[in-house]
Structure 1
Amino acid sequence: MQRSRTASDGRRDGELSLRLLGDRPWVQLAIGVPLGLLAASVAGITQVGIAYGLQGAQSWEEALSTPWPGQPIGMVFQVAAAILVMWLVATRIAGRPVYELERPGAMRELAYGGIVGAGIVTITILLLLAVGAYEITDVTVGRGLVTGLLLGLGSAFGEEVVMRGILLRVLLGKLGTTAALAITSLMFGLLHLGNPHSSLLGAVGIAIQAGLLFGAAYLLTRRLWLAIGIHAAWNFTQTAIFGLNVSGVPTEPGLLVAHLQGPEWLSGGEVGIEGSIVTIAVGLIVSLVMLRAAIAKKSPASSS
């Protein structure tokens, strides 16, 4: 009885993978990944353009360190661009509906994701606070809350569409779960090496804690809403609440005015807590729990 159910579950999962894969998978990658990466860069392009054109920035570093108002404006454009790319790849190349962004159940998955993302960051901050690696110097209420929200949503939509909605989905159908997760996690970490204040430890940390976590969220639901919720809350909580850089990117001051201190392997340094061994450990634990849940959902064991 157990063997029969397992075989049936395997067939259903295979049918699901084929349905989500759609037509012309390699064309989806060849066209969708470059377009997705471009969409994920819209916010940065907008910020730099506004800083140079309207705010008198004289260098790339100065433009990147001027987040208002270009960063939040760019994030709005980035969400729209990412959704457009997902729609184009799914409907015009894969020849199927945009299952990844279906609305039924979206708010529930976003909310669950928000709890997970905010929880990981909060636990990490509390641990860093306990060992003296995170210090609060002031509390302020300003536009950083709005900027942090838009940064969270813009980054989440832009990066999740290309990395999980296109790349991971196609590689799952063609290479299997292990290879697909490994490749997309590695690429996710490498992409962040281009950020300001990037480091090898930070890139490795992002690959392990975030790339694996967001991939597990996709595997669990075969949609993007849970991953987007985790990703958005992850960024929002770091910036708008705890006042820190995200992946080395400077942002507006958050609710708490604070700074990281101590050795970079512990605090993360200028990269932010994503470069901290503490975040890597907490994120990895949650990722493994979510992966286990995804595997259990894929092949539930029978009691008889």
Structure 2
Amino acid sequence: MSQSIKSIMHQSLQKILYFPITKIILGIAICFSIFIVVQNFVLKPILYSLVSNKNVADPIIHLVSVFVLLFSYYFFFRLFEKRPVSELSTKYFPKEIFGSFIFGFLSIALSIFILYLLGNYHFISISTENYAVKLFTTLVVAALIEDLFHRGLLLRELENWLGTHTAIVLVMLLETIHIFNPNANVLSFFVSLCWGFTMSMLFVYTKRIWLPFFFHLGWNFAQPFYGSNLTGLNNLGTIIQAKFEGPELLTGGKVGIENSIINVILLLSIGVYFYYRARKEGKIIARKTVH
């Protein structure tokens, strides 16, 4: 085989391997596979043999799994693309951890406060008996999986390939998988689109996963904290026992407070604000033109 043919084949293979869709598929397949294998075939057998109480063992498994997922993602793209994995940069880590968690939590708190003023939210009692650390660490794992792959991988690759606007639209459509959550309705579809837009803008503005991830975590933690269902689930524990009453458009019904029209407006406002900031600071990537 001549040197020129080998060179052409090598270039073709490189184009296929480094094509955005290929990188997305490889990133999800390899990193998620490592996560699943380590969690189910290493961590669970070891921890369950050492700790009989699953309420103690599971939080440890969840937290270690978080680091396994982050490290597998970091080292895969560090070695595969030979680049700094800037989407996991910890340059502003403390600020983005606490600031965005509080931001997400207070966003739900604001909705609850508005419902309270309208007479649609009634405080009953407060107790930690119905909430366990295991429930919180479950939220951590779920939020990380979504934000690492949806924002850190999918949005990042699509943005660099197709431009920010097209990438956001595609990720917004992906977020509509949430309509398959328990008790979802027509409004859930629009909530999912708003969620996809706002979470995308949190990533586009920082180019790191921490702002969307910790906002997501604060947002999800606050809902059962205030006695609401979370995406249709009512088994994630509560700290404040409360009663919601009134039109589903305001309370979110069985889906939970995130399905309230108040939160649709709130999410859109946050997303538009960060879009404005990103555009003003030149962080919107234009679609590359083909000559």
Which residue does the alignment assign to 1:119? 106
Which deviates more, 167-176 or 126-135? 126-135
- After the TM superposition, which residues 185-204 of structure 1 pair with which residues of structure 2 at under 5 Å, given as runs? 185-190=172-177, 192-204=178-190
> 1:70 and 1:135 mapped to 2: Cα distance?
35
Deviations 1:169-212 (A, max 9, x none): 0010111111111111221232x23322233322320321x222
Q: Decide which of 51, 61, 66 is 1:79's aligned counterpart.
A: 66
Change (3 A) 1:244 1:68: farther
Larger-gyration structure (1/2)? 2
Which residue does the alignment assign to 1:134? 121
Aligned to 1:266, what secondary structure does the other structure show?
helix
> 1:122 and 1:74 mapped to 2: Cα distance?
30
State yes or no: 1:293 paired with 2:269.
Answer: no
State yes or no: 1:275 paired with 2:278.
Answer: no
TM-score, length basis structure 2: 0.76
Change (3 A) 1:197 1:146: same
Query: Aligned partner of 2:258: which letter?
Result: E
Query: Aligned partner of 2:191: which letter?
Result: G
Which deviates more, 277-286 or 95-104? 95-104
User: 1:271 Cα shift?
Assistant: 1.1
Which residue does the alignment assign to 1:205? 191
> 2:131 and 2:262 mapped to 1: Cα distance?
25
Identity of aligned residues (%): 25
User: 1:147 Cα shift?
Assistant: 4.1
Which deviates more, 251-260 or 121-130? 251-260
Deviations 1:74-117 (A, max 9, x none): 64365235314522542243332322112232111112212321
Kept in 2: contact 1:171–1:180 (CA 8 A) = yes
User: 1:278 Cα shift?
Assistant: 1.0
> 2:180 and 2:64 mapped to 1: Cα distance?
21
**Gap runs ≥5 in structure 1:** 1-21, 50-66
State yes or no: 1:26 paired with 2:13.
Answer: no
Kept in 2: contact 1:220–1:293 (CA 8 A) = yes
Kept in 2: contact 1:220–1:291 (CA 8 A) = yes
- After the TM superposition, which residues 26-45 of structure 1 pair with which residues of structure 2 at under 5 Å, given as runs? 26-34=21-29
Which residue does the alignment assign to 2:47? none
Which residue does the alignment assign to 1:16? none
User: 1:124 Cα shift?
Assistant: 0.9
Change (3 A) 1:81 1:132: farther
State yes or no: 1:104 paired with 2:88.
Answer: no
User: 1:250 Cα shift?
Assistant: 3.0
Aligned length, in residue pairs = 258
RMSD: 3.3
TM-score, length basis structure 1: 0.73
Which residue does the alignment assign to 1:238? 223
Kept in 2: contact 1:217–1:226 (CA 8 A) = yes
Aligned to 2:281, what secondary structure does the other structure show?
helix
> 2:212 and 2:220 mapped to 1: Cα distance?
12
Kept in 1: contact 2:130–2:239 (CA 8 A) = no
> 2:55 and 2:212 mapped to 1: Cα distance?
27
Kept in 2: contact 1:197–1:248 (CA 8 A) = yes
Q: Decide which of 238, 247, 253 is 1:254's aligned counterpart.
A: 238
Q: Decide which of 213, 219, 225 is 1:228's aligned counterpart.
A: 213
**Gap runs ≥5 in structure 2:** 1-16, 45-53, 285-291
Aligned to 1:259, what secondary structure does the other structure show?
strand
Kept in 2: contact 1:40–1:78 (CA 8 A) = yes
Deviations 1:207-228 (A, max 9, x none): 21x2222111111111111111
> 1:162 and 1:111 mapped to 2: Cα distance?
22
> 1:270 and 1:249 mapped to 2: Cα distance?
8
> 1:242 and 1:233 mapped to 2: Cα distance?
12
